[in-house]
């Protein structure tokens, strides 16, 4: 997606947070609530990503 749309000024961002501490994940027993990201923290990360310059490229590989 990023390669196809880059020349048109369109950028693609992929944010994969894992489990988010919401009502939806309240019943998940395999992950402790303390190990889940807070919705407010995830929103802050998303806002930070959107504020980056359009020519920014960061790829974190595991």
Q: Distance from first CA to last CA of the chain, Å, rounded?
A: 21
Q: Which whole-number Å values give the CA distances from 34 to 11, 13, 23, 25, 26, in the listed order?
A: 33, 26, 14, 12, 11
The torsion angles phi and psi of 37, rounded to 5 degrees, stand at -75, 140
Q: Which of 55, 61, 60, 59 is nearest to 10 (CA)?
A: 55
pLDDT of residue 32: 92
Q: How confident is the model over 38-60, as pLDDT tens digits?
A: 999 999 999 998 898 877 777 77
d(C-alpha 12, C-alpha 27), whole Å = 32
Instruction: Work out the percent of the chain whose per-residue pLDDT is above 90.
Output: 44
pLDDT at site 1: 77
């Amino acid at each position: 997606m990023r390669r196809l749309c880059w020349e048109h000024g369109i950028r693609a961002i992929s944010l994969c947070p894992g489990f988010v501490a919401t009502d939806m994940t309240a019943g998940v027993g395999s992950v402790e609530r303390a190990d889940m990201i807070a919705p407010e923290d995830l929103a802050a990360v998303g806002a930070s990503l959107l504020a980056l310059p359009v020519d920014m490229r960061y790829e974190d590989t595991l």
